[in-house]
Structure 1
């Protein structure tokens, strides 16, 4: 068994798609299943499913963590006001920044290797 994808509910699938494409994802597939609009995006071997949220009931909100080469390259998140925590330097040498996606989901960006 292996992980196939992580699903995130969104209230605006187009805005969410553009957000994740800015992070490097590419749209793989789009469909409607049992009345729910779905959008699948891939980044290397990882698949993210965006699901249009149909109710106002708050769902569990796990965070997605993406490894980046250089956290400084993610300055757009700070400039666009989506960064809400960090950047932080961790004891193990990692640098991390938490940004907010279009539907309030938390996305962590982590740099695990030092850059020159």
Structure 2
């Protein structure tokens, strides 16, 4: 398991992308819409930040930590044994990515990503 990205919910994805590009030196790696959410992956210094503009109003600035794993369900089962719980998933994003969102033992949001081809 390795850290893949940190995701941040934002109010305005275009304004946020400009901030990260112009002020912090990130570059756009990929943009997409998944389940009506606008998503932008930014890259710098061997790590990603995911900006998420939800389709409904949420608490802006909330975040999640995403880990790339070999098998989403297997890792989710292991985490569940230690008190984590599944929030959502599995979700198939594009043809190459399977996602699962979990609540950690302290309420933190953990995303598990099974990537068949590096994104």
TM-score under structure 1 length normalisation: 0.48
Higher Cα Rg, which structure: 1
